[in-house]
A = this chain, B = another copy of it.
Amino acid sequence: MAEPGTEDGPGERRRPPLRVGMVGHAFMGAAHSQAWRTAHRVFDLPLRPVPAALCGRNADAVRRAAERHGWASTETDWRALVAREDIDLVDICTPGDSHADIALAALAAGKHVLCEKPLANTVAEAEAMARAAEEAEARGRFAMVGFNYRRVPATALARRMIAEGRLGRLRHVRATYLQDWLADPGAPLTWRLRRERAGSGALGDLGAHVVDLAQYLAGEPLAGVSALTETFVRRRPLPAGSEAARGLSARAAEDATGEVTVDDAALFTGRFASGALASFEATRYATGRKNSLRIELNGEHGSLAFDLERLNELAYHDGTEPGERAGFRRILVTEPEHPYLDAWWPPGHGLGYEHTFVHQIRDLVHAIAEGRRPEPSFADGLRVQRVLAAVEESAAKNAVYTPTDTRSVPTAP
């Protein structure tokens, strides 16, 4: 009976380890944990990810989470995590207000970084992060921002087809990201509804995804936008047990409401550098739409359409076919010819949301091992941030068309 992975056998375990420290263990932390555990089981990776340390502010909670998700140790201060020598990569799964601090410290400490989206809460932070990431590359350290929807096999296939020229000259991109969890005016005031934590509302949470996806698929940046934003419900009940509710009597706490300081919905139109037109909508008030990220691109020779609620499918219209037989085809993106799929199941056996994170890690690990910039890079994250800033500026100025800042990453002053 041979033990696998012992010294003298060829084996997974002899691949160099990539020791990961993750900050944050809520929804995103759970998704990333599952991905770190899974990626090297499915794909041949040049480095072996090791879930080394999990960091959270509450010692008990982080210990329970570490047990649940399989992390070998815990920290309660991200600065301690970043300082550990036995950590190669810091994975940031916290709200946006702490991204910049952690990422800059981790890069400075010589770690690779994976940072959840949106990259930061302000353009200034994002610029600093992108600059730091660029500098770190010189030292062989790399940073990626977690726009995981680039890693749905269907969107990756879409990008491949567009890069091959199958759409021809691009005319239109239309993208929506619709959810409905705020349709009920009685839903509580979580941190996602406070500007100081979340930076913005639907715009940064949902809009950031579709802006990145649109720029990624189009292969070019948005040149400018015109935007309307709205906060439909201005005050909401404080969540039970929230900090703000703590000082109040039970009864007062029950009645207490707080102000929503972010957008509930953002609509914007725009122009790509090439002249193609774009429209975007992000909202949390689309009753019945649970996670409806849809994007369609129309080009001179064809069109592509994707819907996250049917993530194993890609719709494709080949405009060069004879009219008699042309039509949007539903490509079931589950075949070995499709991105990422040769490592998974037989044809037709669909993947789910979590696998976008597995693919993200696969691509990140390859980039690190091969010493090249992973995508989406912090510079890509900055590009999204600048679009979001232009959206907010336009919305504040009566929707007037507002160019985005498309300069490259500024070098340090």
Question: Which segment, of A100-108, A241-249, A397-405, faces chain B?
Answer: A397-405
Asked whether A303 and B287 contact (CB < 8 A) given A329-B330, A352-B351, A399-B226, the answer is yes
> Which residue on B lies nearest to A329, using beta carbons?
B329
A213 CA / B210 CA spacing, docked (Å): 27
Instruction: Name the B residues within 8 Å of A352 (CB-CB).
Output: 312, 349-352, 354-355
> A51 to chain B: closest CB distance in Å?
11
Instruction: Name the B residues within 8 Å of A85 (CB-CB).
Output: none
Instruction: Name the B residues within 8 Å of A354 (CB-CB).
Output: 345, 349, 351-352
A19 CA / B349 CA spacing, docked (Å): 28
The answer to whether A291 touches B172, judged by C-beta atoms less than 8 angstroms apart, is no
The answer to whether B331 touches A330, judged by C-beta atoms less than 8 angstroms apart, is no
| CB of A191 within 8 Å of the partner chain | no
Instruction: Name the B residues within 8 Å of A326 (CB-CB).
Output: 288, 329, 331
Residue from the set A179, A288, A303, A394 with the largest chain B CB neighbour count within 10 Å? A288
Given B1, B178, B347, which contacts A291 in the complex, CB threshold below 8 Å?
B347
Instruction: Name the B residues within 8 Å of A171 (CB-CB).
Output: 183, 232, 265, 283, 285-287
User: Which A residues from 290 to 342 make CB contacts under 8 A with B?
Assistant: 290-292, 298-303, 308-312, 314, 316-319, 322-332, 334-338
Asked whether A288 and B328 contact (CB < 8 A) given A34-B41, A300-B185, A354-B345, the answer is yes
Asked whether A288 and B319 contact (CB < 8 A) given A185-B300, A275-B230, the answer is yes
> A12 to chain B: closest CB distance in Å?
4
The answer to whether A327 touches B316, judged by C-beta atoms less than 8 angstroms apart, is yes
| CB of A142 within 8 Å of the partner chain | no
Asked whether A348 and B3 contact (CB < 8 A) given A37-B41, A172-B286, A401-B228, the answer is no
> A334 to chain B: closest CB distance in Å?
6
A27 CA / B336 CA spacing, docked (Å): 14
| CB of A174 within 8 Å of the partner chain | yes
Copies of this chain per assembly: 4
Given B12, B227, B322, B401, which contacts A68 in the complex, CB threshold below 8 Å?
B12
User: Which A residues from 244 to 292 make CB contacts under 8 A with B?
Assistant: 265, 267-271, 275, 277, 279, 281, 283, 285-292
The answer to whether B279 touches A301, judged by C-beta atoms less than 8 angstroms apart, is no
The answer to whether B335 touches A345, judged by C-beta atoms less than 8 angstroms apart, is no
Instruction: Name the B residues within 8 Å of A337 (CB-CB).
Output: 322-324
| CB of A73 within 8 Å of the partner chain | yes
Instruction: Name the B residues within 8 Å of A41 (CB-CB).
Output: 33-34, 37, 68-70
The answer to whether A325 touches B316, judged by C-beta atoms less than 8 angstroms apart, is yes
Q: Mark A172-195, 1 if CB is under 8 A from B, else 0.
A: 101010111101110000000000
| CB of A216 within 8 Å of the partner chain | no
> A39 to chain B: closest CB distance in Å?
12
Asked whether A334 and B291 contact (CB < 8 A) given A27-B346, A70-B41, A325-B316, the answer is yes
A-B contact pairs, 28 of them (CB 8 A): A3-B73, A3-B74, A4-B71, A4-B73, A12-B68, A37-B38, A161-B325, A167-B287, A171-B285, A179-B347, A180-B319, A184-B300, A226-B226, A232-B275, A279-B281, A287-B317, A289-B298, A289-B348, A291-B346, A311-B350, A316-B325, A323-B336, A323-B337, A324-B331, A324-B335, A325-B329, A329-B330, A351-B353
* A interface, CB within 8 angstroms of B: 1-5, 9, 11-13, 27, 31, 33-34, 37-38, 41-42, 59, 63-64, 66-75, 157, 161, 167, 171-172, 174, 176, 178-181, 183-185, 226-228, 230, 232, 265, 267-271, 275, 277, 279, 281, 283, 285-292, 298-303, 308-312, 314, 316-319, 322-332, 334-338, 345-355, 394, 398-401
* Extra 19 A-B pairs, beta carbons < 8 Å, given A185-B300, A289-B348, A310-B310: A11-B67, A12-B67, A37-B37, A171-B283, A172-B265, A180-B298, A226-B226, A268-B269, A286-B298, A287-B299, A291-B334, A291-B346, A311-B350, A327-B330, A328-B330, A329-B330, A349-B354, A350-B353, A398-B401
